[in-house]
Amino acid sequence: MFDMHGETVCYNEKDETAVIIDQTLLPGEIVTLELWEKEEMYDAIKRLAVRGAPAIGVFAAIGLSVLAARDKTADEKTLIGHFLENLEYLTSSRPTAVNLFAAADEMKKTALLHKGEGADAVRAALKEKALELHGKDIEVCRKIGEYGADLLKNCDSVLTHCNAGRLATVKYGTALAPVYVAAENGHKIRVFSDETRPLLQGARLTSFELANAGIDTTLICDNAASYVMKNGLVSAVLVGCDRVAANGDTANKIGTSGVAVLAKYYGIPFYVCAPFSTIDKNCLSGRDIKIEMRSGDEITDMWYEKRMAPKNIRTLNPAFDVTDNSLITAFITEKGVLSPNEF
């Protein structure tokens, strides 16, 4: 099982470090990293050592507090200047994850609110806000789990894409929270986990955490999603997301949109599990969501002993796609189950 009391991200207050599980090493090794340099924090987000929109947001908040706490000799003006530089630097690591910017904005408001009270007061306020965001994520995900478990009370199997479980948040997860809460209530739900190419978050992370939790889990290749739906093996689809536009268009891991199209065709409910912080009211539709493009090496080389594509082949490797709101049955949030037009 996980270290850190079942948490993926936490604040080591004694040593003033941000602590994460290095998810790039799962499932082979469970390694925790204690980070206190901004370059390390940026790298952890960029290379997906910490990932999942909620987890990234909380990690950034803790990271900004740690950096301020360690900036011990700075006066207030210098401290806030360094804080704003660090904030801009960390938010440049992953442009699609709205929680990263939301958490950073909360931290910025906190710093500016306490401006004029002295450097120590600003540091203390930033720490308090980071811990508040950490605790709020656990509470929000638990609520999502409760609403989702009630919605799925007549459901015996779900399909999920990528990883939106405990490893993508501080503790419960979003898309997998209903499964965990249902299990606590004695309702066992079987999970089909897409492998999720090219980084295999479904194979490496979702399967790992579900197996550790004793959940009945079946790993499938991405191309088998249609097969399990057509053959009546799936009652519903649960996914997380990285950003939701004001009209309900939703950005999530590449391949999610295809799963939504299949679910629509086969008449299977498609639920997006997301905290309200993932809804970006300033983003009018999916067309306004910036999609992160990643290295083609993730397609051609990663996971293979030798390159599996011609050296001169072009690649296109978007990290996310956008699912149209018309394909989404409902959003499961901490405020209840909502349709896209109820935001």
Task: For residue range 56-94, list pLDDT tens digits in order.
Answer: 999 999 999 999 999 999 999 999 999 999 999 999 999
Task: For residue range 213-225, list pLDDT tens digits in order.
Answer: 999 999 999 999 9
Full-model pTM: 0.89
Task: For residue range 90-111, list pLDDT tens digits in order.
Answer: 999 998 878 999 999 999 999 9
**pLDDT of residue 3 exceeding 50:** no
| CATH code of the domain occupying 151-342 | 3.40.50.10470
Query: Alpha-carbon distance 273 to 176, whole Å?
Result: 8
Asked if residue 133 lies in contact with residue 109, where contact means CB atoms within 8 angstroms, the answer is: no
**pLDDT of residue 340 exceeding 90:** no
**pLDDT of residue 289 exceeding 70:** yes
Task: For residue range 22-49, list pLDDT tens digits in order.
Answer: 999 999 999 999 999 999 999 999 999 9
pLDDT band of 5, cuts 50, 70, 90: low
Within this chain, domains 4-140 and 151-342 share the same CATH topology: no
> What H or E segment, with its residue span, contains residue 234?
none
Q: Which of 166, 199, 165 is nearest to 3 (CA)?
A: 166
Q: Domain limits of the chain?
A: 4-140, 151-342
Which of the listed CATH numbers 3.30.56.10, 1.10.238.10, 3.30.465.10, 1.20.120.420 matches domain 4-140?
1.20.120.420
> Which positions are annotated as active-site residues?
242
Query: Alpha-carbon distance 271 to 293, whole Å?
Result: 25
Phi-psi region of 194 (alpha: psi -120 to 50; beta: other; left: phi over 0): beta
